[in-house]
């Protein structure tokens, strides 16, 4: 089955620091790759995505590149803000047959940014 | 656009009670799913549906039932609540072609 290994947290950074959250995956076929973010007390929402090798997804200053050769999709941001404090989930989405695509979530990485 | 709406937001049950968590979406999405979120476990798939009248089990289906009589609604039933079902439950919907999933705000369930 599909699986995700995501950097464990919690991660605490000072404002304007550089952020990397590592994510590697195993999945059948050629998955689409997603990062979802969960702000305190809310549901998950899409942060960025990439659908083919070497694609770079980006949003709100965050970036991640689809690396097929290393099966990785690491999340980066050059300068974090207090408002980036949240839990981040890496999630490959692979075809599972009968017209169905399944999302598999990592365990999540909690990021706290302090002023 | 309401998106995905879950009710209730909070619920406390006694062991052995049954209840239904409601989920509705207004985006005409074919695919709907239920997840539970537990500390250190990420999100785990309980049940999913690829369209009205079609449901299937996910990773952790025991103790839960679902049905999909309309495209819009996908309720999750707890048959006989147990403390191990204390969790935060999320409903999600998307098109069937593997695009972005939209999540509800979650239901925090406590079983005592």
Q: What is the pLDDT of residues B95-106, one digit of tens each?
A: 877 688 999 999
Grade residue B42 by pLDDT with cuts at 50, 70 and 90: confident
Test A101 with B31 for CB contact under 8 angstroms.
yes
CA angle (A87 as vertex; A85, A91 as ends), nearest 5 = 140
The shortest C-alpha distance from B14 to chain A (Å) reads 24
* Mutate: best of B98, B107, B108, partner A, most A CBs <10 A: B98
Mean pLDDT value of segment B8-31: 96
- Residue B98: its pLDDT value, please? 65
Mean pLDDT across chain A, nearest whole number?
93
Quote the CA–CA distance of A107 and A9 in Å, as a whole number: 10
Cβ neighbours, 10 Å, residue B4: 23
Residue with tokens 């047959």: A97
Identify each DSSP E strand in chain B by its residue range: 4-7, 10-13, 19-25, 31-38, 42-51, 54-57, 64-66, 76-78, 87-94, 102-103, 107-111
Contacts of A100 in chain B (CB under 8 A): 31, 48, 50, 96
Confidence of residue B1 (pLDDT cuts 50, 70, 90): low
- Which among A6, A36, A43 has CB closest to B106? A43
DSSP class of residue A72 equals B
Peptide bond into A10 cis (omega under 30): yes
Across B51-59, average pLDDT: 93
Flag whether residue A97 sits within 8 Å of chain B, measured between CB atoms: no
- Mean pLDDT, residues A73-92 taken together: 97
Band of residue B2 on the pLDDT scale cut at 50, 70, 90: confident
CB nearest A44 (choices: B40, B96, B103): B103
**Touching check for B75 and chain A: CB below 8 Å?**
no
Residue B84 carries which DSSP code? G
Structure token pair of residue B53: 């009248």
Nearest CB among B41, B100, B105 relative to A43 is that of: B105
């Amino acid at each position: 089955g599909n699986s995700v290994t995501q950097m464990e947290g919690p991660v605490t950074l000072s404002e304007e620091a550089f952020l990397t959250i590592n994510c590697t995956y195993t999945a059948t076929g050629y998955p689409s790759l997603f990062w979802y973010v969960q702000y305190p007390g809310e549901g998950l929402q899409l942060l960025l995505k990439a659908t083919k090798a070497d694609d770079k997804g980006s949003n709100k200053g965050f970036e991640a590149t689809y690396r097929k050769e290393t099966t990785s999709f690491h999340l980066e941001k050059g300068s974090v803000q207090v408002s980036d404090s949240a839990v981040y989930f890496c999630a490959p989405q692979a075809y599972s047959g009968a017209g169905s695509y399944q999302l598999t979530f990592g365990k999540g990485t909690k990021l706290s940014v302090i002023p | 656009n309401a998106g995905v709406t879950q009710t209730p937001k909070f619920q406390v049950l006694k062991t052995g009670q049954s209840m239904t968590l409601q989920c509705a979406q207004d985006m005409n999405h074919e695919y709907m799913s239920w997840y539970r979120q537990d500390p250190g476990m990420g999100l785990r798939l309980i049940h999913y549906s690829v369209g009205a009248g079609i449901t299937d089990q996910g990773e952790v289906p025991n103790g839960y039932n679902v049905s999909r009589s309309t495209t819009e609604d996908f309720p999750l039933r707890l048959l006989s609540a147990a403390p191990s079902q204390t969790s935060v439950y999320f409903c999600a919907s998307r098109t069937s072609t593997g695009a972005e999933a939209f999540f509800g705000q979650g239901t925090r369930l406590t079983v005592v």
